[in-house]
Amino acid sequence: MGVHVIKLPDVGEGVAEAELVEWMVKPGDNVMEDQVLAAVMTDKATVEIPSPVIGKVIWVGAKAGDTVAVGSPIVKLEVDGAGNAKEDAATVKEAPKAEKKAAALSSPARGGGVREADGGGDSSRSSSRMERAPSVALRATAPPPAGEQKRVAPAMPTAAPRKEGEKPLASPAVRKRAADAGVDLRRVAGTGPAGRIGHEDLDAYFEHGSSPVAPRGRRADASIKEIPIIGLRRKIAEKMTISRSRIPDIVYVDEVDMTALEDLRAKLNTGKKPDQAKLTVLPFLMRAMAKAIEDQPQVNSLFDDEAGIVRQYGGVHIGVAAQTDGGLVVPVVRHVEARGLWDCAAEVSRLAESAKKGTATREELSGSTITITSLGALGGIVTTPVINHPEVAIVGVNKMQVRPHWDGSAFVPRRMMNLSCAFDHRIVDGWNAAVFVQRVKTLLENPAMIFIQE
């Protein structure tokens, strides 16, 4: 936990101070990125001050009605990571270096999926954050800085084509042409002597993105790319290793006739209220699992194998594995046993959205007691899902498709779907695993049973 200090930014009106007219937050409040914290007023305009980070307000530096000097701290936030409070002193001392580093890293770090993995340390990331801090949303009409308007979005952001910290080498004419087109030369590969970037390299960049002109025909590619495993990817790697090395798992697969459920689902979706999220198979499965767990509570547990304790949970907190640009994350729907079908659907869609945007909180991404993983959309008959340690069970959903089914007298087309489930065999016996899956299968095949209260 660190402290992020937000200072009153230059509001662009040429004034050295402004009156704080309204607080939108108070100490103790949790704030999201870009959430408005306060409004300040100059004699020319009222300006909203947004939060550059996620955090919890722990201090406010002025009362409404106070006049505040530009640059003085107005809010302190408690944030994950180091914050910027200490760094302030450091930046003064080695300003040129820090500035250079921030500049060198700020743009390559935008490369989508690589973002987390890039930037070898928190200092670089937080300094680019600090640059963002003075941004303000103007309520009054103010023209944007002229330079912003003409800027063309760079073609294809990819990793930098030269060693970190090495400046791009180009003649002033090439530099000017790149600047006019809004291209950051740090992203352009140079094919000239000493890696010099020439006009032809810029042409190639405009045409193909960052890589130099692709040679025609097939060619052996002897390149090896070293990708440091850090950030989210490292966490995933560690968790998978723990799971596979510690858990002797049993995988159990069965097929489920989804025809009845699909009919019901279609009807419910036709009659849904406009504010309700569209039902997928997931909420039905979650409700069915919650019901099956009533009879097989040991599958809804966390096994602390170092302490030798299994904690069997009353609440059913289902993790739903989701793929994001950054990698695998598992947002958690809490207390499924207490939620209705539509409630589950709404929560799943809300969590999926925030996971995709990267705004899911730590609480929303932890605390599951059992997990669902679905590669169904991509096809596949069977998966061997990896148990989300320290949980003891995971339910894998395979693709639903119409298959011939023998009903005792003839083959009939039915919507079939496989469930590939894995259990920690130390805690869950094969018998119990099979009973759990069979119970879920029965519930899904006879969906009315999911909703009947005995």
Partner 1 sequence: MTDLTTKLLIIGGGPGGYVCGIRAGQLGIDTIVVDAEALGGTCLNVGCIPSKAIIHAADEFEKSTHFANSSVLGISAGKPSLDLSKTVAWKDGIVKRLTTGVGGLLKKSKVKTIKGWASFVDGKTVDVKTAEGATRIRAENVVIATGSVPVELPFMKFGGNVISSTGALALNAPPKNFAIVGAGYIGLELGIAFAKFGSKVTVVEAMDRILPTYDAELTKPVAKRLKDLGVTVILGAKAKGLSKDGKALEIEQNGKTEAIAADKVLVTVGRKPLTEGWGHDKLALDMDGRHLKINDRCETSMRGIYAIGDVTGEPMLAHRAMAQGEMVAEIIAGHNRRWDKAAIAAICFTDPEIISCGLSPDEAKAAGHKIKTANFPFSANGRAMTMEAEEGFVRVVAREDNHLLLGLQAVGRGASELSAAFGLALEMGARLEDVAGTIHAHPTQGEALQEAALRTLGHALHI
Site residues for partner 1 per CB under 8 A: 10-17, 69-71, 95, 99, 103, 145-147, 149-151, 169-172, 175, 179-180, 182, 192-196
CA distance 393 to 421: 7
Strands (DSSP E) found in 239-347 = 249-257, 301-304, 309-312, 318-320, 322-324, 327-329, 332-333
Using CA atoms, how far apart are residues 424 and 370, in angstroms rounded to an integer? Answer: 12
> Quick one: 195 or 367, whose CB is closer to partner 1?
195
Question: Has 425 been annotated as catalytic?
Answer: yes
Report the alpha-carbon distance of residue 20 to residue 29 in Å, rounded: 19
Choice between 36 and 70, CB closer to partner 1: 70
Which residue, 15 or 268, is less far from partner 1 as judged by CB? Answer: 15
Beta carbon nearer to partner 1, 170 or 427: 170
Q: Where are the alpha helices (DSSP H) in 60-171?
A: 87-93, 95-106, 122-132, 146-150
Please report, as a single letter, which amino acid is at residue 207: E
Catalytic residue among 88, 325, 407, 429: 429
Using DSSP, state whether 306 is helix, strand or coil.
Answer: coil
How many other C-beta atoms lie within 10 A of the C-beta of residue 229? Answer: 12
CB of 92 to partner 1, least distance (A): 9
Tokens of 334: 């809490």
- Count Cα atoms within 13 angstroms, Cβ side, for 270: 6
- Listing DSSP states for 20-55 in one string gives EEEES--TT-EE-TT-EEEEEE-SS-EEEEE-SS-E
How far does Cα 293 stand from its chain's mean position?
29
* E-only strand ranges, 409-453: 411-424
Rounded Cα distance, 300 and 318, in Å = 9
Q: What is the smallest separation between the CB atom of 204 and partner 1, expressed in angstroms?
A: 18
**Which residue, 80 or 99, is less far from partner 1 as judged by CB?**
99
Q: Which is catalytic among the residues 66, 122, 335, 425?
A: 425
Rounded to a whole number of angstroms, the minimum distance from the CB of residue 199 to partner 1 is 13
Measured from the CB atom, is 112 or 165 closer to partner 1? Answer: 165
The Cα–Cα gap between 316 and 333 comes to: 9
Largest CA distance in the chain: 87
**Smallest distance, partner 1 to C-beta of residue 127, A:** 13
Nearest approach, Cβ of 17 to partner 1 (angstroms)? 8
Least Cβ distance, residue 60 to partner 1 (angstroms): 20
Residues with catalytic function: 425, 429
